[in-house]
Chain A
Amino acid sequence: MTIEPKPLPEYHLPPLRQVGRPLRRIDALGKAVGATVYAADVSMTDMLHAKVFRSPVPSARIVRLDVSKARALPGVTCVLTGHDVPEAKLATDMPGQTGREQRTGSDAPVLAADIVRFCGEPIALIAAETLEIAERALERIELDLDPLPGVFDPHAALAPNAPRVYGEDNVVARWTIRKGDLAFGMSRADLVVERTYRVPFVEHAYLEPEAGTAWVDDQGVVNIRVATQVVEHFRTVARALGLPENRVRVRGTMVGGGFGSKEDVTVEIFLALLARATHRPVKLVYTREESFLATAKRHPFTITHRTGVTADGRITAARIEMLADAGAYPYLTPYVLLYATGMAAGPYRVDHLHVDSVAAATNQPFTSAFRGFGGPQAAFAYESQMDEIAKALGIDPLTVRRINYLRTGDTTGTGQEIRSAAWLEETATRAIAALGGRTPDGPRQRIGRGFASYFQSYGRITWFHDTSRAWVGVEQDGSVVIRCGVPDIGAGQSNSLCQIAAEVLGVPLDRTTIYTTDSAVTPLAGTSTATRQLYMSGNAVLQAAQVVRQSLLMEAAAAWGVEPGRIDLFDGFAVVSGEPTRRIPLAELARRCAATGRALSHLAQFNAPFTDGIDPETGQGDIWPDFTFGAQAVELAVDPETGEIDLLKSAACHDVGRAINPVAVRGQVVGGSHQGLGYALMEEYAVAHGVARTPTLAEYLIPTSCDYPDTAAIVLESGTGIGPFGAKGIGEPALTPAAPAVANAVADALGVRIHDLPITPEKVLAALDRRRTETGAER
Chain B
Amino acid sequence: MSERPIRLCVNGRMHELRLAANATLLLVLRELGYTDVKNGCEKGDCGACAVLLDGVLVNSCLVLAQQADGRSVVTARGLGTIDDPHPIQTAFADAGAVQCGYCTPGMVLATKALLDARPDPTDGEIREALSGNLCRCTGYGQIIEAVRLAAERLRAGDGKEAP
Interface code A696-707, partner B: CB below 8 Å = 1, 0 otherwise?
Answer: 111000111110
Tell me if A35 and B98 are in contact (CB < 8 A): no
Tell me if B104 and A670 are in contact (CB < 8 A): no
Tell me if A35 and B39 are in contact (CB < 8 A): no
Q: Check: A205 CB closer than 8 A to any chain B CB.
A: yes
Chain B residues with Cβ under 8 A from A31's Cβ? Answer: 93, 98, 100-101, 104
| 8 A Cβ contacts from B63-109 to A | 75-77, 79-82, 85-86, 88-90, 92-96, 98-105, 108
Cα A38 to Cα B96 with chains together (Å): 20
Q: Check: B48 CB closer than 8 A to any chain A CB.
A: yes
Chain B residues with Cβ under 8 A from A489's Cβ? Answer: 100
Q: Check: A511 CB closer than 8 A to any chain B CB.
A: no
Tell me if A254 and B101 are in contact (CB < 8 A): yes
Tell which of B2-10, B52-60, B126-134, B154-162 binds the partner: B126-134
| 8 A Cβ contacts from A707-741 to B | 708, 710-711
Tell me if A206 and B81 are in contact (CB < 8 A): no
Which among A28, A205, A675 has the highest number of chain B CB atoms within 10 Å? A28
Tell me if A27 and B102 are in contact (CB < 8 A): no
Tell me if A254 and B45 are in contact (CB < 8 A): no
Cα A672 to Cα B99 with chains together (Å): 12
B3 → A minimal CB distance (Å): 14
Known: A35-B82, A205-B136, A696-B45. A705 touches B92 (CB 8 A): no
A160 → B minimal CB distance (Å): 42
Chain A: CB-nearest residue to B27: A131
Known: A24-B94, A671-B99, A698-B45. A29 touches B141 (CB 8 A): no
Tell me if B108 and A32 are in contact (CB < 8 A): yes
Tell me if A208 and B38 are in contact (CB < 8 A): yes
| 8 A Cβ contacts from A677-707 to B | 696-698, 702-706
Chain A: CB-nearest residue to B98: A28
Chain A: CB-nearest residue to B41: A288
Tell me if B48 and A207 are in contact (CB < 8 A): yes
Cα A144 to Cα B106 with chains together (Å): 43
A36, A666, A675: the one contacting B136 at CB < 8 Å is A675
Cα A24 to Cα B82 with chains together (Å): 14
Tell me if A674 and B102 are in contact (CB < 8 A): no
Known: A33-B77, A257-B100, A711-B141. A705 touches B127 (CB 8 A): yes
Q: Check: A664 CB closer than 8 A to any chain B CB.
A: yes
Determine the main DSSP class of B at the interface with A. loop
Cα A34 to Cα B11 with chains together (Å): 13
Q: Check: A25 CB closer than 8 A to any chain B CB.
A: yes
Q: Check: A742 CB closer than 8 A to any chain B CB.
A: no
B100 → A minimal CB distance (Å): 3
Which among B76, B82, B92, B98 has the highest number of chain A CB atoms within 10 Å? B98
B151 → A minimal CB distance (Å): 16
Cα A674 to Cα B76 with chains together (Å): 26
Tell me if B43 and A207 are in contact (CB < 8 A): no
Cα A702 to Cα B137 with chains together (Å): 11
Chain B residues with Cβ under 8 A from A206's Cβ? Answer: 100, 102, 136-137
Which among B82, B93, B103, B143 has the highest number of chain A CB atoms within 10 Å? B93
Chain B: CB-nearest residue to A204: B136
Tell me if A710 and B82 are in contact (CB < 8 A): no
Tell me if A207 and B135 are in contact (CB < 8 A): yes
Tell me if A33 and B45 are in contact (CB < 8 A): no
Chain A residues with Cβ under 8 A from B25's Cβ? Answer: none
Tell me if A288 and B42 are in contact (CB < 8 A): yes
Cα A286 to Cα B95 with chains together (Å): 31
A174 → B minimal CB distance (Å): 33
Tell me if B139 and A207 are in contact (CB < 8 A): no
Cα A30 to Cα B36 with chains together (Å): 11
A105 → B minimal CB distance (Å): 33
Which among A256, A673, A708 has the highest number of chain B CB atoms within 10 Å? A256
Residues of B in contact, count (CB < 8 Å): 57
A60 → B minimal CB distance (Å): 29
A38, A705, A708: the one contacting B131 at CB < 8 Å is A705
Chain B: CB-nearest residue to A40: B39
Known: A32-B98, A257-B102, A698-B45. A674 touches B93 (CB 8 A): no
B63 → A minimal CB distance (Å): 18
Interface code B112-145, partner A: CB below 8 Å = 1, 0 otherwise?
Answer: 0000000000000011101111111111111110
Tell me if B134 and A666 are in contact (CB < 8 A): no
Chain B residues with Cβ under 8 A from A696's Cβ? Answer: 41, 43, 45
Q: Check: A375 CB closer than 8 A to any chain B CB.
A: no
Chain A residues with Cβ under 8 A from B80's Cβ? Answer: 33
Cα A259 to Cα B136 with chains together (Å): 10
A734 → B minimal CB distance (Å): 9
Tell me if A209 and B134 are in contact (CB < 8 A): no
Tell me if B38 and A671 are in contact (CB < 8 A): no
Tell me if B36 and A34 are in contact (CB < 8 A): yes
Q: Check: B17 CB closer than 8 A to any chain A CB.
A: no
Chain A: CB-nearest residue to B40: A207
Q: Check: A68 CB closer than 8 A to any chain B CB.
A: no
Tell me if A34 and B42 are in contact (CB < 8 A): no
Chain A residues with Cβ under 8 A from B133's Cβ? Answer: 705
Tell me if B136 and A702 are in contact (CB < 8 A): yes
A204, A256, A259, A702: the one contacting B101 at CB < 8 Å is A256
B146 → A minimal CB distance (Å): 9
Tell me if A32 and B96 are in contact (CB < 8 A): no
Tell me if B139 and A673 are in contact (CB < 8 A): yes
Known: A257-B136, A671-B139. A207 touches B100 (CB 8 A): yes
Tell me if B99 and A41 are in contact (CB < 8 A): no
Chain A residues with Cβ under 8 A from B92's Cβ? Answer: 28, 32
Tell me if B105 and A285 are in contact (CB < 8 A): no
B145 → A minimal CB distance (Å): 9
Cα A336 to Cα B115 with chains together (Å): 45
Q: Check: B46 CB closer than 8 A to any chain A CB.
A: yes
Show 25 residue pairs from A and B whose CB-CB distance is below 8 angstroms, ordered by the A residue.
Answer: A25-B96, A32-B101, A33-B80, A34-B37, A34-B77, A37-B35, A40-B39, A206-B137, A207-B48, A254-B100, A490-B99, A490-B101, A490-B102, A666-B96, A666-B141, A671-B99, A671-B137, A674-B138, A702-B136, A704-B130, A704-B134, A705-B126, A705-B128, A705-B140, A710-B140
Give the 6 A-B CB pairs with smallest separation, nearest first.
Answer: A34-B36, A490-B100, A31-B101, A256-B102, A674-B139, A34-B76
Interface residues of A (CB under 8 A from B): 22, 24-25, 27-38, 40-41, 204-209, 254-257, 259, 285, 287-288, 489-492, 663-664, 666-667, 670-675, 696-698, 702-706, 708, 710-711
Taking A664-B96, A696-B41 as given, write out 12 further A-B residue pairs in contact, using a Cβ cutoff of 8 Å, ordered by the A residue number.
A22-B96, A28-B93, A28-B101, A29-B85, A207-B135, A256-B102, A490-B101, A666-B141, A667-B137, A675-B139, A704-B134, A705-B131
